[in-house]
């Protein structure tokens, strides 16, 4: 249950990032439309930081429910930090899978209704609109 509650917001953030990023990548080589270079850093932060936050939450939940077969205290603190950050890689892929599903649902809802949830999230995150 925690995975669904954890990865739906991550998927929403990733849906906004991938939507914003994809449209600007297509226009990157267009010389008539100026492109601000600082957005690469912003997109990178919005892809990396939420995945690491999800990995930390998952690690804390596994420690609290004692699901892990290894103990956090058996390894050194640096190893524990590296393991937790490394768990951000699967979180990135899970969030991306959720994001592509959310993008498809958003396109269907936007075509039927007058709402566009992903566009609202793009604006709230401060990303460039496609």
Profile the chain (130 residues) by mean pLDDT over runs of 10 residues.
Answer: 80 91 74 69 88 85 65 69 83 91 90 86 84
Q: How many residues are recorded in the chain?
A: 130
Name the residue range of residue 18's domain: 1-125
Q: How many domains does the chain have?
A: 1
In a domain, 84, yes or no: yes
Tell me, what's the pLDDT at 30?
67
In a domain, 76, yes or no: yes
pTM score of the predicted model: 0.79
In a domain, 83, yes or no: yes
In a domain, 35, yes or no: yes
Tell me, what's the pLDDT at 15?
92
Helix (H, G, I), strand (E, B) or coil at 73: helix
In a domain, 79, yes or no: yes
66: left (phi over 0), alpha (psi -120 to 50) or beta: left
In a domain, 53, yes or no: yes
In a domain, 130, yes or no: no
Give the closest residue to 59 by CA, choosing from 80, 73, 90, 76. 80
């Amino acid at each position: 249950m925690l995975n669904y509650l954890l990865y739906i917001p991550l998927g929403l953030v990733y849906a906004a990032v991938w939507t914003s990023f994809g449209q600007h990548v297509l226009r990157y080589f267009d010389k008539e439309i100026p492109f601000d270079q600082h957005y690469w850093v912003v997109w990178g932060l919005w892809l990396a930081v939420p995945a690491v936050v999800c990995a930390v939450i998952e690690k804390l939940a596994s420690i609290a429910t004692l699901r892990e077969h290894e103990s956090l205290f058996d390894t050194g603190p640096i190893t524990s930090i590296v393991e937790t950050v490394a768990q951000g890689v699967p979180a990135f892929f899970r969030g991306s899978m959720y994001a592509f599903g959310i993008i498809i649902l958003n396109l269907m809802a936007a075509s039927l209704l007058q709402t566009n949830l992903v566009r609202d999230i793009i604006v709230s995150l401060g990303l460039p609109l496609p």
